Structure 1
Amino acid sequence: MRRYETIFIASPTLTDEQSDELVKQFEGIIAEQGGELLKTDKWGRKKLAYEVQKFSEGYYTLFEMNAGPDLIAELERRFRNHDAVIKFLSVRMDEADKAAGRAKQRIERESKRKAQAGIKDRAPEEVVG
């Protein structure tokens, strides 16, 4: 199973209770499809950066989960078919963690190579001024 973050924005025409019910509905879909929900973060009603479907506000919700690609495909299909969801995005987080780890390893290799060659590594303060 891979780690994903999925954020969706629900219509501002919903009440707080309807928004909570919508979140519970999607949490149920994650559970029934075999995903492991790590965290649900309700950000509440926020202003959008730009208008989406003629709305300038929406209810933001973030899910962090361990899931397979089939579950993400099913969840996104349900987001598309639900009238109250105006926008959504799913991101695979373990790939971002791998990329950060590779960058850290590269920096460590460069530092080690410079130390062996006798090159002094400058601190960021020295470079800036």
Structure 2
Amino acid sequence: MRRYETIFIASPTLTDEQAEELVKHFEGIIAEQNGELLKTEKWGRKKLAYEVQKFSEGYYTLFDMNAGPTLIAELERRFRNHDSVIKYMSVRMDEQTKAAERQKVRYEREGRRKAQAGIKERSLEEVMG
């Protein structure tokens, strides 16, 4: 299973109870599809960066989960088919973690190479004079 973050924005015409019910509905889908929900963050009603479907606000919710690609496909299909969801996005997080780890290893290797060659790291003040 891979780690994903999914954020969706619900219509601002929903009441707080309806928005809560919608979150529970999608949490149920994640559980039904054998996903492991790590965290649910309800950010509440916020202003959108740009208008989406003629709305300038929406209810933001973030799911942090371990899931397979079939669960993400099913969840996004349900987002598309639900009238109250105006925008959604899923991001695979373990790829970003791997990329950060590779960058860290690269910097450490470069630092060891420079130390063996006797190259001294210069500070910004030394470079700028």
Counterpart AA for 1:88: Y
Q: Secondary structure at the match of 1:104?
A: helix
Q: TM-score, normalised by structure 1?
A: 0.96
Residues 45-67 of structure 1 show CA distances to partners (whole Å, capped at 9, x for unaligned) of: 00000000000000000000000
Report the alpha carbon displacement of residue 122 of structure 1 after superposing the two structures with TM.
2.4
Q: How many residues align?
A: 129
- Aligned position for 1:53: 53
Structure 2: gaps of 5 or more residues: none
* CA apart distance, 1:121: 1.4
C-alpha distance after superposition, 1:15-46 (max 9, x if no partner): 00000000000000000000000000000000
For the residues of structure 1 that align with 2:26 and 2:126, how far apart are their CA atoms?
51
Structure 1 runs of 4+ off > 4 angstroms? Answer: 124-129
Map Cα deviations across residues 61-90 of structure 1 (whole Å, 9 max, x no partner).
000000000000000000000000000000
Change (3 A) 1:30 1:122: same
Give 1:37's aligned residue: 37
Question: Per-residue deviation at 1:126?
Answer: 4.5
Q: How far off its partner does 1:94 sit?
A: 0.2
Tell me what 2:83 maps to: 83
Q: 1:3, CA displacement in angstroms?
A: 0.3
TM-score by length of 2: 0.96
SS in 2 for 1:83: coil
- Give distance in 2, aligned partners of 1:45 and 1:83: 17
Q: CA deviation at 1:123?
A: 3.5
What are the ranges of 5 or more consecutive residues in structure 1 without an aligned counterpart? none
Which residue of the partner structure matches residue 92 of structure 2?
A: 92
